[in-house]
Amino acid sequence: MERWVDHGMGNSIHEIAQRCDGYQSDHVLMFSLVMNPNLIPHDDREQFVRRLTENTVEDFFDARGIDTGVEYSFVTHHRETDGEEQPGQHNPHTHVVLPGTYYDADE
For position 26, what pLDDT does the model report?
A: 86
- Whether pTM > 0.85 for this model: the answer is no
d(CA 83, CA 60): 31
Q: For residue range 27-78, what is the model confidence (pLDDT) as tens digits?
A: 888 989 888 877 788 788 888 999 999 999 989 888 888 776 788 999 988 7
If one compares 88 and 32, the residue with the highest pLDDT of the two is: 32
pLDDT above 90 for 6 = yes
- The alpha carbons of the chain give a radius of gyration, in whole angstroms, of 16
Q: How far is CA 26 from CA 6, 49, 50, 63, in A?
A: 25, 32, 31, 24
Percent of the chain with pLDDT over 70: 88
